[in-house]
Each structure stands twice: as C-alpha cells, then as structure tokens.
Amino acid sequence: MKTPDDISINKTEQKPLSWSLLDMAIEESYQEISQQRDEDPRKIYSSGVCEVISRLIKQKLEKYAEKIEIIIGGGWVVTTHEFLLVEIEGEIWVVDPTWQQFLAKPDPGKPKVLKSRLNELEVTLKKFGIQDRELAIWKDALSKRKKLE
C-alpha cells in the first residue's frame, strides 16, 4: 500500500504536466499552508492566501510544466490577487486555488479550485456566481500579462 510520502509530487517523474500532478500539487500546497498557518486545510481554498499558495503550487510544478506563470491582478476590489496560468494537454488553463474568497460565502458545492480554459474564464466565473465587480480582478490581471508562449 502506498503511503502519502510515496505519492508526493516530489517522488514522481511524470512529464509533461497532467491533471493528476496538478491536483496533487494543489492538495499538498493546501496541506502545507494550513500547517504553516495553523488553519483548517478545508478553509484554505476560500481564504486570502492566494499569493502564498499560488507560488507554492508553481514551485512544485515547474519541473513538469514548460509553460506556467503567476498572474497578479487587483484593482479597487482587492489590493492584489494571484492565480496561475498553466499549459495542460496543449491548452492554456486558468487555475485559481483561492477563487472562492470572492463569493459572498464559500460554497462547498462549487469546485475548491477554479480550473477554466483561458478563453472560457468569464463564462466559467459567472456560472459559479462571481459578480461583474469581482470579475474585474481576473480581467485586469489578464489584460496586463504577457502571452504565455
């Protein structure tokens, strides 16, 4: 039987980046951040630790992903918000491990981690209840970035 140490992202040699590796890195990052901050790991996804967790996920995935970047946005709703753009299976995806902090209240019926094709982001966010005011956070960030190539 495999132990958690056996299935750690640090123990795998799989390339290129896959959904399972991404999910593993996210879950490990939630656990690490919750331990560092002495918080319930089930609440990290809706907390304001986007900078810390996005950077940790990126660090864990850099050896697997040829194309990965942190996007930083903000504006008048928040000072800054960080999330990831990553290429998986030839497509660019937005991955936001703390997107639920922008809902009126966290919703366990919605995904903990936002995963959306870049060209479908606005539709995806609206489908999950993000209002136009908060939608500006992602739009602003993406309008200022260089193209992931």
CA angle 110, 115, 116 (to 5 degrees): 110
**Model confidence, pTM:** 0.84
In percent, the amount of the chain with pLDDT more than 70 equals 84
Residue type, 34: S
Q: How far is 92 from 70, CA to CA, in rounded Å? A: 13
pLDDT (tens digit per residue) in 75-115: 655 678 899 999 998 899 999 999 999 998 999 999 999 99
- Per-residue model confidence as pLDDT tens digits over 29-48: 999 999 999 988 788 889 88
- Is residue 6 packed enough to be buried (19+ CB in 10 Å), middle (13-18) or exposed (0-12)? exposed
Cα separation, 73 vs 84, in Å, equals: 11
**Three-state secondary-structure class, residue 60:** helix
Residue 11 banded pLDDT, cuts 50, 70, 90: very low
Report the range of poorest mean pLDDT among 12-16, 126-130, 138-142: 12-16
> Is pLDDT at 59 greater than 70 in this prediction?
yes
